[in-house]
A and B are shown apart, each in its own frame.
Chain A
Amino acid sequence: MTINTKIPEDVEARFRRTVEQLYGTGGTAIALERAIELWLSETKYEIVAIERKLNNDALKRLQPELEKQQGRYVVIAHGKLQGVGDSIESLRSLAPNAHHRLVFKVGEPLPRKRRLGWRVRRKQGDPSAGIAKTSSL
Chain B
Amino acid sequence: MVHSESEELVQLDTGYDGELLLPYKLYQDLALYQWEYPEEYWSVGKTVSGEILELILAKGQVLIPRWNVALEVFIETFEGNEELLLGRSFIRKFKVLLDGPGNKVCLVGAPCGKET
Contacts and interface: CB of A to CB of B under 8 A. Distances in A.
B and A form one assembly:
yes
Interface of A: 45, 48, 52, 55-56, 59, 76, 88, 98-104, 108, 110-123, 126, 128-134, 137
Contacts, number: 138
Given A59-B38, A102-B38, A116-B16, A123 B82 contact: yes
Interface string B12-56: 011111100100000010000111111111111111110111110
Contacts of B87: 117
Contact of B46 (A56, A76, A113, A118): A113
Interface string B84-112: 01010000000000000000000000000
Interface residues of B, number: 45
B5 interface: no
B41 A104 contact: yes
A88 B9 CA distance: 27
